[in-house]
Amino acid sequence: MYIIRKGDKMKRVIINEENIDINNVDETVIRVKALMINEKEELLVVHNNYTYQFPGGHWREDESLEESLSREIKEETGISINIEPGPFMVIEEYYSNYLETRNTRCNKMYYYIVHSNEGPKVEEMSLSELEKKTDFNLFYIPIKDMEVFLKESINNKSIEQVIGQEMLSVMKEYQEKHAGR
C-alpha cells in the first residue's frame, strides 16, 4: 500500500507494502531532515557511511521536531539555524522483520526547508563516533542538478536505493511547492 495525502502545508507519504496494522508496530523511529538551501539555490548534502543524505538525524522525546532538527544540524554542520514550525513533508515506512530483527517497525522522516547562507563550520561540529570513523563530509549541489545526481548515484550504487528514492520524492515535492517562485 502506497498512500499519498496532501494537505495545504504538508504532504504525507505512507509506504506500507505489507499492509501492516499500525497497532502491531513494535517500534517507531522518528528522524528529522532538512533541505538546507543557500542563496545560490544549492542544497547542502551529507556523504556518510558510503551513501548520500540530507542533513538531520534522530528526534529525541524531550525535544520538539524543530529542536531536534536544530540540534542535529548544529552537530553535523556547525550551523545554527532558525526553523519555521512544521515540516513540508513526512514519509512513513512500515516494515515487518525490520533488518531481520523480527521487529515490526515504522520509520517516520519529517522534512523541513531551511534557508541559510552560512557554510559548514568544522570547528563547531559534534560528530558521532561512527561519523568520525567513516567518510563524513558535506558539499553543495545546485538544486537544478539534484535529480540527475540522485538518479546517477542510484544507478552506480553510490547511494543506498531506498534513501535515494526517498530523496528523489522529497526533491519532487519541494520543486512542485516552489515552482515559479
Q: Where are the domains of the chain?
A: 2-177
What does the pLDDT read at residue 181? Answer: 52
Question: For residue 109, which phi and psi values (nearest 5 degrees)?
Answer: -115, 115
How far is Cα 116 from Cα 77, in angstroms, rounded to an integer?
12
pTM of the full structure? 0.88
CA distances from 53 to 12, 102, 130, 135, 169 (A): 19, 27, 15, 13, 13
Based on its alpha-carbon atoms, the radius of gyration of the chain, rounded to whole angstroms, reads 16
> Homologous superfamily of 2-177 in CATH?
Nucleoside Triphosphate Pyrophosphohydrolase (3.90.79.10)
* Residues of the chain falling short of pLDDT 50: 1-5
Strand-pair category, 51-53 with 11-15? unpaired
Residue 4 pLDDT: 47
